Chain A
Amino acid sequence: MAKVEKGAHVTEETLRDFLHGMLLIRRFEEKVEERFRAGDLPGFLHVAIGQEAVAVGVCAAMQEGDVFASTHRAHGHTLARGTPPNAVMAELYGKTEGCSHGYGGSMHLYDLSRGNLGANAVVGGGLPAVTGAGLAFKLRQEPRVAVAFFGDGATNVGTFHESLNLAQLWKTKTVFVCENNHWAESTPGWQHSPVWDDMSKRALAYDMRSMKVDGQDVEAVYEASLEALEHARSGDGPVFLDVETKRMHGHYIGDPQVYRSKEDRDDAAEHDPIPRLRERLDLSDEEFAAFDEHAHELVDKALEFAQNGTDPQPEDALKNVYA
């Protein structure tokens, strides 16, 4: 397994940007939880509270032209890649101003202009497409990379194995980011995978380069992602990025987590990536409060924007079925 050396090239300014991005996602998702519980939001929602460093670290390492596919837990990836919070919140409200124009919802956030090929509500459903996009970049000799986000639960789906095999066989320009939070919905890692505590073993089976990284350390995630993306971009083949992370909340909003011990929840809370970054930056209360206030402001504006958004016409449901 490749060791990721801490580089000196992550500037304090970059880390501050990361804090801004992570706080935006955190406050955004807290607001989403609040509005869902209040009955404002239709559908089925999943937050990634605790996993913000993964979204921010990986997306910051991506370049213009790179693409990615996300999962049912997609708000963070989408915001981290630069889709305005207004457009994401409007999508959750089912408005035409939403990033999928009201056709997708929380589990189907798209933003093609920023390389978001879509969040997928079928676990593992997007992995073959990311492999295919990475193949297209290779065939066209384009310096672009396709990134797949997925959880540890997805490593048991057939698409995962078929995709990793094909990607390595053909050396597609693909990076597989496994957000290993040790939960497949309510089923703990030890119940769903013989290699739950070291997912990089999955990549070994396909002779794929793998890297392991602490997903609660945004700087480490960023550096590992830079290396993984560069490897794929240069045509050396795909990379499996095994990111150990923590899901601080339930599988879905409203999940009472009857299956989860208090110790496990406490452990997740203790590994919150945001205080860790704050400590790294050595921010005073005032400085941190300024970051936080900015995030709250953006989220409040997004909420107002979404609530005042335009409802689709019912008959719009018949549009966009075909190109």
Chain B
Amino acid sequence: MDEKKLAIIATKGSLDWAYPPFILASTASALGYETEIFFTFYGLQLLKKDLDLKVTPLGNPGMPMPMGMEKWFPTLLTALPGMEGMMTSMMKKKMASKGVASLEELRELCQEAEVRLIACQMTVDLFDMDSSAFIDGVEYAGAARFFEFAGESDICLYI
């Protein structure tokens, strides 16, 4: 049976950008796709053992806020100390209350479903990251290795 292939390039490291790669990859895998995610630049944050991702409305005018606040809350105030932390914990609470899986769970499901996780070696070196801070089961490689798979993929997404 010819399996369809899904390739994802994950480049962002904030909480809101972390969900799409893992949800798409795990779902594709459940539907029988062979899937690979290439984590580069800030996407590498998604591979850390201790996930401590944040989200902020600052610079994200499209982010909905409770009580219609996005309509009148001044952008400048979102830069105040503590705002990012508050927004992040509000977002996490909302996710939990709506039965959305945690990032750790989604990531684990991906690995269980044999989604291949590839970390961009170049970016790891660039930011002097310590590979012991990353979860196990990650392959370290470059773009050329990723293109081997991406070039044959039916779907390739840049997130």
Specify whether A and B are partners: no
